[in-house]
Amino acid sequence: MSSIGTYKARQFNLSGLKGISDQTLEMHFKLYEGYVKETNRLTERISEFIQDGKVDQEEMPAYSEITRRLGFEFNGMVLHEYYFDNLKSGGGTGDPARSQQFYKATETSFGSYEIWKADFVGIGKMRGVGWAICYQNPSNGRLSNHWITLHEVGNVAGFDPILVMDVWEHAYLLDYKPADRPKYIEAFFSNINWDIVERRLRKDTGARSVSA
């Protein structure tokens, strides 16, 4: 079969994080590889269904289920890549520098960095499994924080993920009790790679004219 659309699991070097063990990461990388594998497998299955140029009536239930599952697996793959990318091997500096564009963007969008953080952390503590994601609206540069259920419910179309935090229990269960998610969130913050966050921001949004 053709390899078009085949995704390869990426490698991440994240040893020595603060408060998130290498053992957790090893397990998490394996889970991520599972999402890549399933994304490829389901994409392949769908291509088989549509090979003859149509979806037959009797194929519709299986085709529908696989297509829905693809949304779950695909987002699971992509969000984990954002998550691992915004962590820094050896640990980070805690909060971003005041001079950083991201820090300024939180002030413009939320009034202050502290208020942005209270919202992001608050979302991270919500019950259920999913993600806390800070997005930037590419049309005006504003930041907003969102809760994503599982991997695929709640993502905002067209918005850019800027900071992505996994709050599924597998992200911290080897290091913390389920009720201690706040401690994991604290650990997450102490490992953020703010240079990556900074690079994800669009810098030209303020200058863009509405009619452009």
Q: What CA–CA distance (Å, rounded) separates 182 from 112?
A: 21
Q: Is 81 in the site for Fe ion (CB under 5 A)?
A: no
Q: Is 119 in the site for Fe ion (CB under 5 A)?
A: no
**Given the complex with Fe ion, which of 119 and 166 has the nearer CB atom?**
166
**Given the complex with Fe ion, which of 80 and 88 has the nearer CB atom?**
80
The CB-of-99 to Fe ion minimum distance in angstroms stands at: 32
Count of residues of this chain found to bind Fe ion when the rule CB under 5 A is applied: 2
Residue partners of 211: CB distance under 8 A and separation at least 6: none
The CB-of-42 to Fe ion minimum distance in angstroms stands at: 19
**Given the complex with Fe ion, which of 19 and 138 has the nearer CB atom?**
19
Considering only 166, 172, 176, 192, the residue that binds Fe ion (CB under 5 A) is: 166
Options 3-11, 14-22, 53-61, 164-172: segment touching Fe ion (CB under 5 A): 164-172
Chain centroid, CA 169 distance in Å: 15
What is the DSSP code string of 23-88?
HHHHHHHHHHHHHHHHHHHHHHHHHHHTTTSS--GGGHHHHHHHHHHHHHHHHHHHHHHHHHHTB-
The CB-of-166 to Fe ion minimum distance in angstroms stands at: 4
The residue sitting closest to Fe ion, measured at its beta carbon, is: 166
Q: Is 152 in the site for Fe ion (CB under 5 A)?
A: no
The CB-of-141 to Fe ion minimum distance in angstroms stands at: 29
Q: What CA–CA distance (Å, rounded) separates 158 from 209?
A: 18
The CB-of-12 to Fe ion minimum distance in angstroms stands at: 12
Strand 130-136: give its sheet, edge to edge.
143-149, 130-136, 160-166
The structure tokens 């194929």 sit at 59
Number of alpha helices (DSSP H) and beta strands (DSSP E) in the chain: 6, 3
User: Which residues contact Fe ion by CB under 5 A?
Assistant: 166, 168
